[in-house]
Homo-oligomer: A and B are copies of this chain.
Amino acid sequence: MATKKYVYFFGGGKAEGTSEQKRLLGGKGAGLAQMTNIGLPVPPGFTLTTEACSEYYSKGRKWPVGLKKQVEANLAKLEKLTGKKLGDVDDPLLISVRSGAFVSMPGMMETILNLGMNDQSVEGLTARTGNARFAYDAYRRFIMMYASTAMGLSKDEFEGEFERFKHTVVAKRLGRRKGESVEDTDVTGEELKQLCEILKGKYEKMVGESFPQAPMDQLRGSIDAVFNSWMAEKAVTYRRVEKISESEVSGTGVNICTMVYGNKGETSGTGVAFTRDPNTGKNEFYGDYLFNAQGEDVVAGIRTPVRLTELQKQDKKVYEQLMAVRDKLERHYKDMQDLEFTVEEGTLYMLQTRRGKRAPVATFRIAVEMVDEGLITEEEAVCRITPDDIERLFYPAIDTKIAKKDLADATLTTGINAVPGAAAGDVFFTASAAEEAAATGRRVILVRKETSPEDVGGMHAARGILTQTGGKTSHAAVVARGWGKCCIVGCEALRIDYDKKRMTIDGVTIKEGESLTLDGNTGQVFKGDFPLVDPKLPKEFDRLMAWVDRLRTVKVRTNADTADDSKKAIEMGAEGIGLCRTEHMFFDTQDRIDAIREMIIADNCDDRIKALKKLLPYQRRDFEKIFKAMDGMPVNIRLIDPPLHEFVPHDKKGQKDLAKKIGIKYATVKNRVEQLHEFNPMLGHRGCRLAITFPEILDMQVRAIMEAACKVAQKGVKVYPEIMIPLTMAERELEILSDRVRKLATAILKEKKLTKRNVPYTVGTMIEIPRAALTADKIARHADFFSFGTNDLTQTTMGLSRDDAGRFLPDYVDEKKAGVFRSDPFQVLDQEGVGELVKIGIEKGRSVKPKLKIGICGEHGGELESVKFCVRAGMNYVSCSPYRVPIARLAAAQQAIEDK
């Protein structure tokens, strides 16, 4: 039986693999194969497939049958091609061994260089190069790398031996005094030989076996080391953190490559380069070069490299070779590439190519310019942008000039990175303190155990928000995301003492008014006030987003509760409001919250109506402002949704104050608040259930909406109010309430001497309960539109409380633990379950009203995969927080391109 092909050769101008085989060969292996194929100077070698690695694991860390033979055969082929032999005493072949998985994985094994060095071949290399220092330095490096990288011994132990050697033997020879430095280059060949003996001795002492002399043993040990590094804790952690599924990447490839040396004098050197500037995207060759050095020296930062322009000056020939390579690679890959190369005595060798990582700004510039250059199409450019690219364009960041060590020293803990960007300022623990401090011009960080609608004022005043509990869809996260405000949640190490106005993280105490810096990209919390840099939109952003808008087929709206949000959203490209929550307005001023509380505490309809009358002018004014801001665009307004207990004070003082204000007994207030308690508020008396019980609340809100609409319409503003009834679960609810809304709206239009032509309002409902989706054909009879509230729909469909899921959901999305879901279903729509109900709801709704307008207004409306799902499901629009609007536009375009 023929065994599987586990090894792919490259060299002599052609390779067995191609760049298409990235999954099989790993990124590095595919790059080496492809570069060989397109005629670039790649040192010959061969790649062990990722499959070899996965079979190594499935066989309990044993090489699969046939692998050994194939390695030997390919090594023989390599020896034949190079005319050298591994371990040869005259002219030894030396090779490097590198890992390389399908996706780049920093946690994995570093390179082993100079494999093939042993007590014989070091002499051969000395003879061949006439340079004992070079040969023994190579041997010394190999022993140290093999010991640490392949055998997992402490690197510091071997480095320590080297240092000790330099400061004793070498320093003595040089007559240096204690404390004076000795450079690596001060060490002679003979001394390095002596050092190699010391290192081998240390190796033997630590391992219990002598340092392997047989090159095949060295190779086998190195390959095993690469295989084993795949399951090393840091690699596993990296995959988990980056949500790289084990089923997607089954193992690492192993690349064995002929050694080339950049440290053979001034005509040698080594470099890393990007085909374009990765920071700005500018179309110019960008990189660093180190004369007379090996690649690891560049990485180690032992000497300061020069810019490539310096190479151009000093070695024009090599530079031109490199420029030709650059062109060839960009023409082939049609993308900016990240290269590693070595020049050995004037000859260029390419060691690696891969897609170059780049700053968000550069992503846009490169994509747009490559379209201009005819390298890629507009569609391809659009498909290259990721949500992260967009998101990071808009947020401030901690100044990159700050030393990494300073940041590391200041790090307190890491929470959940709910909203990206960075924020620095002074800590306050209550919304009111935050507001007061902000009013005096201070930059404020609001720190809370958790946030609630009462905190919204303080949250708005703050630069950044930090909470102890909650996940990416907690109240804090959702509200902060709406404002694009840096937010870190679920910061479990945080302890807050509200009474003493201080917080503690792992023993470090920070008092009110002391400073803190948050990095919303990483979730890191730093003590102190670090400088931030503001974002700047590249001019290419607009061009690319214009292509996006031309390509997409669905509208993108925004979730916005104020005129300011609305304006911001229009800047971000929103084409309407998909969700205007009215309850936040109640917290805006003390008058308002007093009125709503009076309404709630009232025990009869008349008193409720009296209190509601106080609220009416406020809401009407808010709506007027929003309608003006959204002139000509639809504004979808959701009637009151949260349970009433969210609005009332739960502390004694607050209740006493309220009793005094309304002029009733404290006991009455206390009693009423207690009555409002719910076991499961998520499934309680809220949404349209409130409007059924207290229709006067709906009346006030509809009046505010319609009177505002009439007023602005009379001033020439084009206004399209969409009145949305939340939490419908049955046809009859919507029948009752939509009738009531329509009757009242008609009456108000008549009062104002206007018609529906002037104010073409519509009435519809949220679909956010499974039963609503299941009976959407009946509900649609009374609705002009549906808006899928996928936050609540996810909670009910999964039986999963967003506020409580923190206890087990992390395990559920952790592949190494339960691995039930690939992502947090509150961030990425659960297409299999919740999505199924969305599809049922759309199908049933349209079966009755084929032109029913349908959108989404949950958090998912700003997430790439979820938006794409919505497009496929046939929605007319998606809606998300202002800062996510460009992402939604992008997602919609990408799905439109896929659909072509």
Which residues of chain A have a CB within 8 Å of any CB of chain B? Answer: 678-685, 689, 692-693, 727, 729-730, 732-733, 736, 768-771, 774-775, 792, 795-801, 803-805, 807-808, 811-812, 818-821, 830, 832-834, 836-837
Contact = CB atoms under 8 A, between A and B. Distances in A.
A771 B808 contact: no
A774 B681 contact: no
A818 B736 CA distance: 8
A683 B685 contact: no
A477 to B, nearest CB: 15
The 6 lowest CB-CB distance pairs between A and B, nearest first, are A683-B801, A771-B833, A680-B801, A769-B799, A684-B804, A679-B803
Contact of A771 (B775, B807, B834): B834
Contacts of A770: 770, 796-799, 833, 837
Given A736-B818, A819-B732, A692 B808 contact: yes
B798 A771 contact: yes
Contacts of A692: 808, 811-812, 818, 820
B729 A833 contact: yes
How many copies of this protein are present in the complex?
A: 2
A729 to B, nearest CB: 5
A681 B684 contact: no
A683 to B, nearest CB: 4
Given A692-B812, A798-B769, A730 B821 contact: yes
B684 A683 contact: no
Given A683-B801, A804-B678, A811 B771 contact: no
Contacts of A792: 799
30 contacts: A679-B681, A679-B682, A679-B801, A679-B804, A680-B680, A680-B681, A680-B683, A682-B799, A683-B683, A683-B796, A683-B800, A683-B801, A683-B804, A684-B804, A684-B805, A685-B804, A685-B808, A693-B807, A730-B833, A732-B821, A736-B818, A768-B799, A771-B797, A771-B798, A771-B799, A774-B797, A774-B837, A775-B832, A775-B833, A796-B796
A692 B730 CA distance: 35
Contact of A683 (B689, B799, B819): B799
Nearest to A792: B799
A150 to B, nearest CB: 35
Contacts of A812: 692
A681 to B, nearest CB: 7
B683 A682 contact: yes
A737 to B, nearest CB: 10
Contacts of A796: 683, 770, 796-797, 799
A646 to B, nearest CB: 11
Nearest to A734: B820
A574 to B, nearest CB: 29
Contacts of A732: 818-821
A795 B771 CA distance: 10
A837 B797 CA distance: 11
A812 B796 CA distance: 20
Contacts of A832: 774-775
Given A732-B819, A771-B798, 9 more contacts: A679-B803, A684-B804, A730-B833, A733-B820, A769-B798, A770-B833, A771-B834, A774-B832, A774-B837
A799 B837 contact: no
Contacts of A807: 684-685, 693
Given A818-B692, A832-B775, A837-B770, A727 B808 contact: no
A865 B61 CA distance: 60
Q: Which of A736, A770, A775, A799 has the most CB of B within 10 A?
A: A799
A569 B491 CA distance: 52
A792 B680 CA distance: 13
Nearest to A812: B692
A805 B821 CA distance: 31
Contacts of A771: 797-799, 830, 833-834
Contacts of A681: 679-680, 804
A798 B728 CA distance: 9
Q: Which of A692, A818, A834 has the most CB of B within 10 A?
A: A818
A678 B802 CA distance: 11
A211 B828 CA distance: 78
A353 to B, nearest CB: 38
Contacts of A833: 729-730, 770-771, 774-775
A768 B774 CA distance: 16
A666 to B, nearest CB: 19
A276 to B, nearest CB: 43
Contacts of A799: 682-683, 727, 729, 768-771, 792, 796
A730 B820 contact: yes
Contacts of A805: 684
Nearest to A678: B804
Given A770-B796, A811-B693, A804 B837 contact: no
B680 A808 contact: no
A275 to B, nearest CB: 43
A683 B729 contact: no
Contact of A678 (B685, B733, B801, B836): B801
Nearest to A737: B818
A811 B801 CA distance: 26
A730 B811 CA distance: 14
Nearest to A736: B818
Given A692-B811, A818-B732, A801 B684 contact: yes
A836 B774 contact: yes
A769 B836 CA distance: 14
A853 to B, nearest CB: 23
A681 B683 CA distance: 11
A897 to B, nearest CB: 30
A789 to B, nearest CB: 11
A800 B770 CA distance: 11
Contacts of A837: 770, 774
A800 B689 CA distance: 10
A792 B803 CA distance: 19
A796 B798 CA distance: 8
Q: Which of A693, A796, A819, A836 has the most CB of B within 10 A?
A: A796
A557 to B, nearest CB: 24
Contacts of A803: 678-680
Nearest to A729: B798
Contacts of A768: 799
Contacts of A689: 808
A468 to B, nearest CB: 12
A761 to B, nearest CB: 24
Nearest to A799: B769
Contacts of A693: 807-808, 811
A733 B804 contact: no
Contacts of A730: 820-821, 833
Contacts of A683: 680, 682-683, 795-796, 799-801, 804
Nearest to A680: B801
A861 B50 CA distance: 54
A775 B830 CA distance: 12
A608 to B, nearest CB: 16
A768 B797 CA distance: 10
A837 B837 CA distance: 10
A804 B682 CA distance: 10
A822 to B, nearest CB: 10
Contacts of A808: 685, 689, 692-693
A598 B832 CA distance: 39
A222 B147 CA distance: 111
A836 B771 CA distance: 9
Q: Which of A730, A771, A808 has the most CB of B within 10 A?
A: A771
A801 to B, nearest CB: 4
